């Protein structure tokens, strides 16, 4: 029997921002969810995030990718759309957004990802991040592990090395993994992962009795930690 994900999502402006530039989507009928975090340091980041989510929401059922190659092509299409938006609204600076989408097909979870939003899987009490951060800091950490650099410059955590809205995507991740009965899934913007420790996320995700309760507690934790950014959490519980 195929698994199903029961989704719930919540987004909040946080404690420091004047507007919420996060956007999110759940299409339960297609077992599809996505989050986009518009880049606050660039013009119309909210429009960039909304455009990416709207394009995904508007896809006819038969055009939602089935294979990973299709998700890669879709990321390129979304990137082009956001790039053209930037050219029209701010030719000098452009615009940008992260974009992370998941879709469950039977027992396989497809992930399409650009930027520093994140996908986590909770299984048997252990939390694993399934996505990779596309930030300058993450790249430097990989190089430091190989002995190529010694330190991470100040502010590198907040500089994206890839996002929708560039002339081309220097990095895009499409992958598939498995889901098992009892697994729990989290998609979130970095407004959650930056202020809230991973172990706190793990405990809250494990303790919640519903996806909605988990999303509420995670967003509240981000705000209790100072709410430095917009925060969005989409939680999925597997059901048979």
At residue 143, the pLDDT reads: 57
As a whole number of angstroms, the distance between CA 66 and CA 53 comes to: 18
113 touches 138 (CB < 8 A): no
With bands split at pLDDT 50, 70 and 90, how would you rate the model's confidence at 66? Answer: very high
Segment 56-81 shows an average pLDDT of: 96
**Least confident window among 28-32, 119-123, 139-143:** 139-143
With bands split at pLDDT 50, 70 and 90, how would you rate the model's confidence at 2? Answer: confident
Tell me the pLDDT tens digit for each residue of 207-230.
999 999 999 999 999 999 999 999
Give the ranges where 5-67 is alpha helix by DSSP (H).
45-57
Closest to 184 (Cα-Cα) out of 130, 113, 105, 117: 130
As a whole number of angstroms, the distance between CA 34 and CA 37 comes to: 10
Segment 66-71 shows an average pLDDT of: 95
What share of the chain in percent tops pLDDT 90?
82
3-state DSSP assignment of residue 129? strand
With bands split at pLDDT 50, 70 and 90, how would you rate the model's confidence at 157? Answer: low
At residue 209, the pLDDT reads: 97
Give the ranges where the chain is alpha helix by DSSP (H).
45-57, 68-89, 136-145, 190-193, 198-207, 211-224
- Is the per-residue pLDDT at 152 higher than 60? no
Segment 99-103 shows an average pLDDT of: 98
4-239: CATH topology: Phosphatase 2c; domain 1 (3.60.40)
- Is the per-residue pLDDT at 156 higher than 50? no
* Residue 63 CB burial class (10 angstroms; 0-12, 13-18, ≥19): exposed
Q: If you average pLDDT over every residue of the chain, what do you get?
A: 92
**What residues contact 1, with CB distance under 8 A and at least 6 apart?**
240
Segment 147-159 shows an average pLDDT of: 56
- Is the per-residue pLDDT at 13 higher than 60? yes
- Is the per-residue pLDDT at 127 higher than 70? yes
DSSP 191-235: HHHTTS-HHHHHHHHHH-SSHHHHHHHHHHHHHHTT--S-EEEEE
> What are the structural domain ranges in the chain?
4-239
pTM of the model: 0.92
Tell me the pLDDT tens digit for each residue of 163-203.
999 999 999 999 999 999 999 999 999 999 999 999 999 99
């Amino acid at each position: 029997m195929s698994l199903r994900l029961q989704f719930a999502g919540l987004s909040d402006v946080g404690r420091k921002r004047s507007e919420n530039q996060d956007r999110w989507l759940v299409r339960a009928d297609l077992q599809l969810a996505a989050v986009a975090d518009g880049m606050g340091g660039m013009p119309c980041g909210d429009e960039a995030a909304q455009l990416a989510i709207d394009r995904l929401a508007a896809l006819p059922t038969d055009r939602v990718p089935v294979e990973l190659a299709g998700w890669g092509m879709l990321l390129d299409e979304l990137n082009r759309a956001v790039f053209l938006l930037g050219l029209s609204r701010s030719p000098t600076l452009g615009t940008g957004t992260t974009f992370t989408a998941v879709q469950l097909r039977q027992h396989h979870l497809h992930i399409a990802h650009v930027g520093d939003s994140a996908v986590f899987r909770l299984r048997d009490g252990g939390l694993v991040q399934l996505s990779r951060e596309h930030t300058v800091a993450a790249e430097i950490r990989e190089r430091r592990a190989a002995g190529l650099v010694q330190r991470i410059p100040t502010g590198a955590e907040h500089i994206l090395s890839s996002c929708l809205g560039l002339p081309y995507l220097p990095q895009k991740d499409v992958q598939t993994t498995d889901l098992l009965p009892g697994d729990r899934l989290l998609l979130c913007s970095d407004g959650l992962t930056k202020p809230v420790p991973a172990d706190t996320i793990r405990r809250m995700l494990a303790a919640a009795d519903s996806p909605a309760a988990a999303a509420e507690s995670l967003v509240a934790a981000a705000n209790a930690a100072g709410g430095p950014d917009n925060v969005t959490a989409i939680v999925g519980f597997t059901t048979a």
